[in-house]
Every structure is written in C-alpha cells, then in structure tokens.
Amino acid sequence: MARTQGSHSDITGPRVREAALALFARHGFAAVSMRQIASAVGVQAGALYNYTPDKQTLLYDLMRTHMEDLLAAWDSQTPTGGALGALETFTRFHIRFNTRRADAVFVSYMELRNLSPENFEVIEGLRRDYETRLETILRQGAREGVFAVSEPRIASMAVIAMLTGVNTWFREQGRLSLAEVEAIYWEMVRKSVAA
Amino acid sequence: MARTQGSHSDITGPRVREAALALFARHGFAAVSMRQIASAVGVQAGALYNYTPDKQTLLYDLMRTHMEDLLAAWDSQTPTGGALGALETFTRFHIRFNTRRADAVFVSYMELRNLSPENFEVIEGLRRDYETRLETILRQGAREGVFAVSEPRIASMAVIAMLTGVNTWFREQGRLSLAEVEAIYWEMVRKSVAA
DNA sequence: GATTTAACTGAACACACGTTCAAATCAAAG
DNA sequence: CTTTGATTTGAACGTGTGTTCAGTTAAATC
C-alpha cells in the first residue's frame, strides 16, 4: 500500500473540484469540457476519472457539498433576540455566506437542470431544508405577533430571492462594504415582514 | 418575385424561435443542438439558417426581443396614485408579465454568459433601463417622503430580485391565484420601502 | 401550364465531446 | 535498491457539434 500519505490525489482531488467549480460558474456546465477542467488542473482528461465517475457526478458533488456546507454553517449559528433577532442573524448570515461563495451559489442555482432526476431531488430537498429554516423563524415571529406574514413559506422564498440577488451586483471592491450592504438589506427585510 | 405572401417563412420563422426558446429554457443554450431545434420545428438543421445567421444570434435575438417587449409593456402602463401607486403598478405588472413568459425570463437571465461581449452589453443595457424605471419611482417616493430608501438603485434591484423569484415556484394551477400572489408580494414590497 | 424563386433537404466538413484503458511513471515501503 | 501500486499519460472509441451548400421541391405569379 504505497503512497497513502502525501499522495497526489490529496492535492489533485481538491484542485479538480476547484477548477470545475470556477469553470462551471463562468461558462456553464454544458459548455465546459473535461479537457478544459483537466487543462486548468494541469493533467490529462483521463486522470479526472480517478476523482469522479463522470462529469454529471462531479457537478452533483459540487452542488451537494455547497448545500450541505450552507446548512451546516447556518445550523452552527446561535441567534439571540427572539424571532426578530433570528431574522437579522439569518439575513446577515445569508449575505455573508453567499457573497463569499459566489461560484458555488451560482452553479447550485443555474445548473439544476443538468442533474439527473435522482440527484435533482437530493439538491432540491436540501434547498427546501434551508428555506424551512427561514420559514420557521417567520412562523414563530408571526405567532408572537412581531411579524405580519400571511404566507410564511412564500415570504421565506421572497426574502431568500431578494438576499441572493446581492450576488448579481456585489463586488468586494465596490462602493459599499459588505457591512453596509447587510444593513441596507436588513432594513428592507425587517420592514417587509414587520407587523 | 414569387411566394412573397403566405410563404412558409412566415410560419417557420416564429416556430423556430418558439422551439429554441422552449428548448433553451429547459436544457440550456449550450446543451441544445441546432438539430434538436430543427427536429422540434419539423425541418432539417440546415433550414434554420434561413432564419438566423448562427446559433448565438438566435439566442441574442430571443433575449433582446424579450427585454424590448418588457420595456415596451411597462412603458404602456399608466400608473396613478403618485409614487405609491406607481410602485404597486410596477409590482403587479412585473409579476404578471414575468409569470406569463417564464421561458423568456429564465433564458434572459441564465444565458447571459453565452452572449458575445457586444451582445451582452446590449442586453445588460436593456436590463439596466428596466431597473432604472423602478429606481425612478423609488427616488421620487423618497423625495416625497412616502418611501424610506437610502439606496434607491440597490433597493430597486432587491425588489426586482424578490419579484422575479416568483417564477421559481409559481404554477398556474397551484394553490394561489396570480391575484393572491400579487397581493402577497405587494404587501411585502410596500412595507419594505415604507417610510 | 410554364416560369420563378423562396424554402428546404441531405450530405458533407473539420472538429470536439465524454469516456475507456493498456502502458508508463514515480514516490514511498521494505 | 528493488518492489509495489497509486497516479497519470496518450491514444483511441463512437458519437455529436455548428455550419455550408449544391441540389430538390413546390407554391405563387404570369
């Protein structure tokens, strides 16, 4: 069992996923060839098949990892201040997490149609899980009387769509800092569901 | 000059665009072949080149037509009731227009990266024009004191992102009617920018 | 009914695709 | 220093790609 430690696969594996994510985000899954990914990593196309059974699974793994990271990151948050505090925590968390992983967010949203039906179901389930986290906050706030939302499920999708929209224009070096963007969106979110 | 009236191109031309739009929306521009489009229309691939110089221009024309239709449709609206009335008109208009043209909206958003730089600039300019329509309403409302928006440009993108998000879940035969959806979103939009 | 010509076919072009696999490579273990 | 086997190469497989174009078809005009 030679080369179990420090073997190239420890390096090449992550690099394949990084290169694939960047290329899929820029050009789209269907427009990127295995040879392009291999070239970005610095290997021949055949070598990629040590790291993924096929192109479709490579995409699926990237999307699943992203969604699981998102859920795990949110679940490690510890909001305080009741439903209102939880909503603020969620708003700021979502903007911060998603702007830092723009490629993964983009791919996970745009390439759903390139997944097999079974893989699609898994990713869609994870997305629903995330939406439910926000829905739960809105539902609780509505019960407590601090929010006025007649349709918590739809409100949660509306808020998430608004927040994810930041990714289409936000640039690290832009006029507004991330903190300022968070503040602007938090004000809009807060008011949009206010009682 | 025979066959100038009732010629097949009057029929085939629109059908090519319809088929391309539906296929691009479902599978993505890069994943759809000219032969697939031709097959959906009922002709051979070569015949498509009577209607478009190439595949890329076909996409561009679909996107440009959609954006121009959107702008023209909005510009034909006659909102009343000041900035608040205009915002309600915009909200309801955007939801109604976009849910009726889900394929075109989807393609116009997802396939921007498949446009040549020059074509991209045109489409992006039209999108900015549309955003400016809403921004103008928000700016006016802020000046009049009926809205509280510190960043009208960003607020307009936030609102549009939220409203366009309806397309990801709304189904004609679903639990909620379009009128109900409009009402839910109008309440959220109104409150989100309320003074 | 002959003429005109828009519309379309069908084959071909050169190239790129995802994937496979025997052979070569080379770092670590003995 | 030899052995081992994980890793990668490089060529090949069959299939599909966007696009071109000489030739065929058929509808409208005279």
Is residue A113 included in any domain, yes or no?
A: yes
Using the structure, give the distance in angstroms from the CA atom of B54 to the C1' atom of C9, rounded to a whole number.
Answer: 19
Q: Left if phi > 0, otherwise alpha if psi is -120 to 50, otherwise beta: which for B32?
A: beta
Q: Give me the pLDDT at residue A11, please.
A: 83
* A120 vs A116: CA distance, rounded Å: 6
* A164 vs A159: CA distance, rounded Å: 9
Residues B108 and B181 placed together within one structural domain of the fold: yes
Is residue B1 included in any domain, yes or no?
A: no
Chain A positions contacting chain B at CB under 8 Å are 26-31, 110, 113-114, 150-151, 154-155, 157-162, 164-165, 168-169, 176, 181, 184-185, 187-189, 191-194
Other CB atoms within 10 Å distance of the CB of residue B1: 3
Number of domains observed in the structure of chain A: 2
Nucleotide lying nearest to B38, CA to C1' measure: C8
Chain B positions contacting chain A at CB under 8 Å are 26-31, 110, 113-114, 150-151, 154-155, 157-162, 164-165, 168-169, 176, 181, 184-185, 187-189, 191-194
Tell me the CATH number at A59: 1.10.357.10
* A183 vs A166: CA distance, rounded Å: 12
Is residue B2 included in any domain, yes or no?
A: no
Nucleotide lying nearest to A49, CA to C1' measure: C19
Is residue A1 included in any domain, yes or no?
A: no
Taking CB atoms and an 8 Å limit, are B161 and A157 in contact across chains? no
Residues B66 and B128 placed together within one structural domain of the fold: yes
Using the structure, give the distance in angstroms from the CA atom of A101 to the C1' atom of C27, rounded to a whole number.
Answer: 35
Is residue A2 included in any domain, yes or no?
A: no
Tell me the CATH number at A11: 1.10.10.60
Residues B68 and B35 placed together within one structural domain of the fold: no
CA B166 to chain CA centroid, Å, is: 13
Is residue A146 included in any domain, yes or no?
A: yes
Which H or E run includes B69? helix B55-75
| Nearest partner of B25 among B167, B165, B176, judged by Cα | B167
Using the structure, give the distance in angstroms from the CA atom of B15 to the C1' atom of C3, rounded to a whole number.
Answer: 30
Residues A98 and A63 placed together within one structural domain of the fold: yes
Which protein residues have any CB–strand D distance under 7 A? Answer: A 1-4, 7-10, 12, 38, 42-47, 50; B 1-7, 32-36, 45-46, 49, 53-56
In B, minimum Cα distance to A111 occurs at B28
Return the bridge partners of B147, or none: B194
B40: CB within 7 A of chain C nucleic strand? no
Nucleotide lying nearest to B12, CA to C1' measure: C7
Residues B155 and B93 placed together within one structural domain of the fold: yes
- Return the nearest residue to C30, CA–C1': A2
B112: containing domain = 56-192
Residues A85 and A130 placed together within one structural domain of the fold: yes
- Gap from B22 CA to chain A (nearest CA, Å): 13
Q: What is the largest CA-CA distance in chain B?
A: 65
Taking CB atoms and an 8 Å limit, are B113 and A28 in contact across chains? yes
Q: Give me the pLDDT at residue A67, please.
A: 98
Residues A58 and A110 placed together within one structural domain of the fold: yes
Taking CB atoms and an 8 Å limit, are B191 and A192 in contact across chains? yes
Residues B79 and B162 placed together within one structural domain of the fold: yes
Is residue B148 included in any domain, yes or no?
A: yes
- Gap from A112 CA to chain B (nearest CA, Å): 10
Q: Which two tokens stand for residue A20?
A: 């694939």
Residues B43 and B91 placed together within one structural domain of the fold: no
Taking CB atoms and an 8 Å limit, are A185 and B110 in contact across chains? no
Using the structure, give the distance in angstroms from the CA atom of A51 to the C1' atom of D4, rounded to a whole number.
Answer: 22
Query: What are the CA-CA distances from residue A49 to residues A24, A116, B27 (Å)?
Result: 17, 19, 25
Is residue A141 included in any domain, yes or no?
A: yes
A36: CB within 7 A of chain C nucleic strand? yes
Please identify which residue in the block is written with the tokens 């691939």. Answer: B45
Residues A74 and A138 placed together within one structural domain of the fold: yes
Residues A14 and A59 placed together within one structural domain of the fold: no
Residues B69 and B107 placed together within one structural domain of the fold: yes
Which residues in chain A come in under a pLDDT of 50? 1-6
Taking CB atoms and an 8 Å limit, are A184 and B155 in contact across chains? yes
- For chain B (length 195 residues), average pLDDT per consecutive 10? 54 93 97 96 94 96 98 97 97 98 96 94 98 98 97 98 97 96 98 96
